[in-house]
């Protein structure tokens, strides 16, 4: 059985490939940088270098594939799905966004629902994963933390059950090797945290005292209050109401999802 993983060198792709290998599968992966993929991924993985936006490369990568892992940020995922249909790929694990449920009229919510519609109408078997905010979004703070130990945001935001990409990958791996056909799973972390909570957790992981500073831009604060989805591209979903903590990661994998504190400890080097 050939499993194709797109985005294999990303925050979700690397742990997914490693988990598939641990489960006895050696997937094919796509990447635009084979040297980087070789440095990050286990031996035995078939690496196909190229750009998914190029039709010839896409057709070559999909040839003979039984199961496809695809996520919303892959760059025109609907086009990839249509190409997968032409190549006869029968099964897809698609990662979209929980905004499809909580904010279906937002840009990301609409894109998620449209991509899911293309998957359904393409006749694929498979599973849809809808994660909430990724813990890895805080990598955007790394420069500020390195320079002056201060994270600046418009406000502390609302409590948000952030999820580690590794936990999305763990569920995706199960969906690729087990039968989860026709299921749609909402994925969150184990607890709701604010921006201030994240900064404190990162400081503890680094052994330094970090501070959180609200910039309190009145125009931006008004936009956050009235149309938080409009600022989501810059600041994520932390200004939107929480979807609540969901038990899906534990239900599927048999273990609890990582807390933000655990994720920060695992990735402290990225903030040094």
Is the residue at 271 inside a domain? no
Is the residue at 142 inside a domain? no
Is the residue at 170 inside a domain? yes
Q: Residue 19 belongs to what domain range?
A: 3-135+165-189+244-258
From the CA atom positions of the chain, what is the Rg in Å?
A: 19
Is the residue at 220 inside a domain? no
Q: What is the pLDDT of residue 75?
A: 67
Is the residue at 221 inside a domain? no
Is the residue at 205 inside a domain? no
Q: Report the CATH number that the domain containing residue 108 is assigned in CATH.
A: 3.40.50.720
Count other Cβ atoms within 10 Å, centred on residue 271: 20
Is the residue at 13 inside a domain? yes
Domains of the chain: total = 1
Tens-binned pLDDT, residue by residue, of the chain (272 aa): 999 999 999 999 999 999 999 999 999 999 999 999 999 999 989 999 999 989 999 999 999 999 999 998 766 899 999 999 999 999 999 999 999 999 998 888 999 999 999 999 999 999 999 999 999 999 999 999 999 999 988 877 789 999 999 999 999 999 999 999 999 999 999 999 999 999 999 999 999 999 999 887 777 777 666 677 766 666 677 778 899 999 999 999 999 999 999 999 999 999 99
Answer whether 8's CB lies under 8 Å from 52's CB.
no
The closest alpha carbon to 88, from 120, 57, 122, belongs to 122
Question: pTM for this structure?
Answer: 0.93
Q: Report the C-alpha gap between 121 and 129 in whole angstroms.
A: 17
> Mind spelling out the 3-state secondary structure of the chain?
CCEEECCCCCCCHHHHHHHHHHCCCCCEEEECCHHHHHHHCCCCCEEEECCCCCHHHHHHHHCCCCEEEEEHHHCCHHHHHHHHHHCCCCEEEEECCCHHHHCCCCHHHHHHHHHHHHHHHCCCEEEEEEECCEHHHHHHHHHHHHHHCEEEECCCCCCECCECHHHHHHHHHHHHHCCCCCCEEEECCCCCECHHHHHHHHHHHHCCCCEEEECCCHHHHHHHHHCHHHHHHHHCCCCCCCCCCCCHHHHHHCCCCCCHHHHHHHCHHHHC
Q: What is the pLDDT of residue 234?
A: 63
Q: What is the pLDDT of residue 231?
A: 64
Is the residue at 49 inside a domain? yes
């Amino acid at each position: 059985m050939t499993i194709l993983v797109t985005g294999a060198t990303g925050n979700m792709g690397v742990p997914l490939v490693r988990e598939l290998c641990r489960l006895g599968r050696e997937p094919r992966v796509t990447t635009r940088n084979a040297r980087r993929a070789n440095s990050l991924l286990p031996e035995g993985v078939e690496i196909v270098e190229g750009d998914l936006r190029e039709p010839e490369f896409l057709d070559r990568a999909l040839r003979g594939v039984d199961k496809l892992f695809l996520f919303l940020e892959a760059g025109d995922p609907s086009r990839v799905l249509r190409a997968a249909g032409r190549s006869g790929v029968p099964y897809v694990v698609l990662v979209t966004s929980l905004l499809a449920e909580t904010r279906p009229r937002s840009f990301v919510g609409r894109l998620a629902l449209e991509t899911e519609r293309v998957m359904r109408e393409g006749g694929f078997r498979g599973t849809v994963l809808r994660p909430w905010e990724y813990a890895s979004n805080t990598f955007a703070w790394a420069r500020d933390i390195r320079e002056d130990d201060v994270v600046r945001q418009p406000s502390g935001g609302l409590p948000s059950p952030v999820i580690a990409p590794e936990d999305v990958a763990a569920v995706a791996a199960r969906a690729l090797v087990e039968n989860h056909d026709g299921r749609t799973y909402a994925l969150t972390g184990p607890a709701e945290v604010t921006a201030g909570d994240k900064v404190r957790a990162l400081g503890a992981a680094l052994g330094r005292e970090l501070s959180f500073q609200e910039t309190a831009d009145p125009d931006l604060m008004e936009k956050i209050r009235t149309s938080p989805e409009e600022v989501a591209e810059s600041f994520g979903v932390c200004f939107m109401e929480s979807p609540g903590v969901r038990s899906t990661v534990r239900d599927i994998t048999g273990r609890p999802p990582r807390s933000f504190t655990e994720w920060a400890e695992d990735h402290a080097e990225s903030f040094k």
